[in-house]
Amino acid sequence: MTVERVRALVFDVFGTVVDWRSGVARAAAPFLLQYGASNTDSAAFADTWRKRYEPAMEEVRSGRRLFVRLDVLHRENLQAILPDFGIQPAGVPAAELDQLNLAWHRLDPWPDVVPGLTRLKARYIIAPLSNGNVILMLDMAKRAGLPWDAILGAELARAYKPAPEAYLRTLDSLAMRPDEVCMVAAHNSDLAAARGCGLRTAFVPRPTEHGPGQTKDLAPEQDWDFVVKDFAELADRLGA
């Protein structure tokens, strides 16, 4: 395995870097209480919101819709799920939905992330290659202390993973060959798409991303270049 050439590490964020489910549930709980859905499990609300993520991006990937930022998709999806929880969208001020939509900007990293990224940054360029947009990633990074060198990903590429353009345009911005860039993700599908574009791959399982009953992405499904238990082990393996 030639990984000596790696110069940049690009990271999936939702699930790999931050615990979106707990963070969204935390932000949703007082909202659900206020709007009379207090018997709702706020984690189920987070799951329902997240379930519309892939289909919304697929509208863009398929070409049926021009590229719009993830904040826009999240906001539309939030409005769409309210009736499932007995809340009429017309009964909630738009500003409150805008505020709840910022839950995705305020997610906590897994405990190994900040120390691991800090080590990796000393030797490599580190940047998100997320479907999240620039200000979402920036707000999250400022709040959580994620020491990114740049914010790469969907908004710069104007394409959503796992479309090849998301990876290829990132390589182009980095002016690097594919084997100089390593994709780090907790999702086999993301790594498969990155490998399809020639990138190096690192799998970091996040077995509670989807809560205690998680069944997918518990183990690597290909011989990824690195399979590590957390960002500390990734830093060890990469000599950082």
Residues that bind its own copies (CB under 8 A): 71, 125, 133-135, 137-138, 141-142, 148-152, 155-156, 173-176
Least distance from its own copies to the Cβ atom of residue 150, Å: 4
Q: Is the bond preceding 162 in cis, omega lying within 30 degrees of 0?
A: yes
Beta carbon nearer to its own copies, 168 or 192 = 168
By C-beta, is 15 or 128 nearer to its own copies? Answer: 128
Pull the structure tokens for residue 73: 């998709």
Q: How far is the CB of 70 from its own copies (least distance, A)?
A: 12
Rounded to whole angstroms, the Cα distance separating 213 from 199 reads: 31
Which one, 61 or 123, has the nearer CB to its own copies?
A: 123
H/E segment holding residue 11: strand 8-11
> Which residue, chain included where needed, has tokens 């904040």?
71
H helices within the chain, ranges in order?
20-34, 42-51, 53-61, 70-81, 94-101, 113-121, 134-144, 154-157, 164-174, 188-196, 231-237
Q: Between vectors from CA 108 to CA 113 and to CA 184, what angle results, nearest 5°? A: 40
Between CA 42 and CA 200 the distance in angstroms is 37
Of 154 and 191, the one with the shorter C-beta distance to its own copies is 154
Query: Closest approach of Cβ 174 to its own copies, in Å?
Result: 5
CB of 36 to its own copies, least distance (A): 30
CB of 71 or CB of 209, closer to its own copies: 71
Q: Taking the complex as a whole, how short is the minimal distance between the CB of residue 163 and its own copies, in angstroms? A: 18
